[in-house]
């Protein structure tokens, strides 16, 4: 009888874990919460002054670059790079958590299931 109690409790625990991962993933997609920041990338950009003065003599080009100062332009922001990767990592982790819950519930169902053994009477006639 104790294996049935353990089995039902494992089924309940497994289902709770699965529902937790489902609700957590749904809250991320609905915008109620944000995924944890696993990845944090810097933006991709370049300095526009490096493009100035390519056809000028080197001394004039460096003088022109010094006068212009640094003019960095960001092509892709770090947020655009980080958000999808953080979301994918979080969903991958929640999928792992849900599969752990399924395994726990599976163990519970194996404990609850009755074990029936049918033995055939194999008497040989002489």
What are the sequence ranges of the domains in the chain?
A: 2-112
Checking if the pLDDT of 48 tops 80, the result is no
Closest of 95, 96, 78, 90 to residue 37, by C-alpha: 90
Q: In this prediction, what percent of the chain has a pLDDT beyond 70? A: 80
pTM of the model: 0.68
pLDDT (tens digit per residue) in 86-103 = 999 999 999 999 999 999
What is the secondary structure of 49-86 as a DSSP string? GGGTTSSS-HHHHHHHHHHH---EEEEE-HHHHHHHHH
């Amino acid at each position: 009888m104790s294996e049935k109690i353990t089995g039902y409790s494992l089924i309940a625990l497994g289902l709770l874990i699965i529902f937790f991962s489902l609700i957590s993933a749904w809250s991320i997609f609905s915008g109620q919460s944000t995924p944890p920041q696993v990845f944090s990338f810097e933006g991709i950009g370049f300095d526009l002054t490096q493009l100035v003065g390519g056809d000028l003599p080197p001394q004039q080009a460096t003088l022109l670059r010094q006068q212009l100062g640094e003019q960095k332009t960001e092509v892709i922001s770090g947020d655009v790079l980080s958000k999808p990767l953080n979301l994918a990592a979080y969903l991958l982790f929640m999928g792992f958590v849900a599969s752990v819950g399924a395994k726990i519930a599976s163990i519970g169902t194996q404990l609850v299931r009755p074990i029936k053994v049918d033995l055939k009477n194999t008497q040989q006639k002489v």
